[in-house]
């Protein structure tokens, strides 16, 4: 059974801390800041998916079960349809204000949350905001898995070997390793290209 229970005090602290540096800034700043704080995602992921959090825990610390999402079809479409950073940013800007303003509704069982949102005028936006954040966390964790140290230098969406395995373990949306949406920032792209040019050294 998937629980959408109320967050612990520690989780709320981290969410509010991240909110100050991500959700309350401009779109371009959001993606830039997220690329800088990638190292904290595993910790945030683990805190976010405690039994009383928004989703259940798994070994990777990100939402890798269909039941973690309020609208699974939307979550899949976010991965497959928002292929560029600008498309992602447009959706983020549209759904996150409602989600941030009503995160208190994400409490109780999954069915209880869905019932509350069904009766809320911004219910659809809140659901999308919740799920888009989880999809982004999965994407960022997948992207992080093919970066140094340890990963082999390979071009974007041309992965093989362990790099492909790393991404497949996380990509529950399509199961592939070479169909990741390109939500990288300009800095991400520059650093990734430099990594490839160096041969992974």
Q: What's the pLDDT band for 201 if we cut at 50, 70, 90? A: low
Among positive and negative, which fits the CA dihedral 14, 20, 26, 30? negative
Q: Look at residue 200 in the predicted model and tell me its pLDDT.
A: 72
Q: Look at residue 150 in the predicted model and tell me its pLDDT.
A: 79
Q: Look at residue 172 in the predicted model and tell me its pLDDT.
A: 96
Q: Look at residue 100 in the predicted model and tell me its pLDDT.
A: 97
72-81 and 85-101 helices cross at what angle (nearest 10)? 150
Residue with tokens 């992207």: 143
β-bridge partners, 109:
3
d(C-alpha 30, C-alpha 171), whole Å:
23
- Please state the domain extents for the chain: 9-197
Per-residue model confidence as pLDDT tens digits over 85-138? 999 999 999 999 999 999 999 999 999 999 999 999 999 999 999 999 999 999
Least confident of 56-65, 101-110, 121-130, 178-187: 56-65
Q: What's the pLDDT band for 54 if we cut at 50, 70, 90? A: very low
Establish whether the linkage from the previous residue to 149 is cis, with ω within 30° of 0. yes
Q: What's the pLDDT band for 148 if we cut at 50, 70, 90? A: confident
Question: Residue 68's Cα: distance from chain center in Å?
Answer: 12
């Amino acid at each position: 059974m998937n629980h959408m229970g109320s967050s612990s005090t520690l989780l709320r602290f981290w969410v509010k801390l991240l909110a100050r540096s991500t959700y309350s800034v401009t779109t371009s700043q959001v993606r830039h800041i997220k690329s800088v704080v990638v190292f904290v995602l595993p910790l945030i992921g683990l805190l976010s998916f405690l039994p009383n959090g928004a989703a259940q825990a798994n070994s990777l610390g990100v939402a890798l079960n269909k039941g973690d999402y309020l609208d699974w079809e939307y979550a899949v479409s976010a991965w497959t349809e928002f292929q560029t950073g600008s498309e992602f940013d447009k959706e983020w800007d549209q759904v996150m204000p409602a989600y941030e303003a009503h995160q208190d509704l994400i409490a109780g069982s999954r069915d209880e949350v869905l019932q509350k949102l069904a009766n809320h005028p911004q219910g659809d936006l809140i659901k999308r905001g919740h799920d888009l954040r989880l999809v982004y966390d999965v994407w960022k964790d997948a992207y992080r898995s093919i970066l140094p140290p340890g990963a082999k230098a390979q071009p974007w969406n041309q992965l093989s070997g362990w790099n492909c395995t790393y991404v497949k373990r996380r990509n529950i949306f399509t199961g592939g390793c070479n169909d990741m949406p390109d939500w990288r920032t300009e800095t991400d792209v520059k650093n990734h290209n430099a990594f490839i040019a160096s041969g992974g050294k």
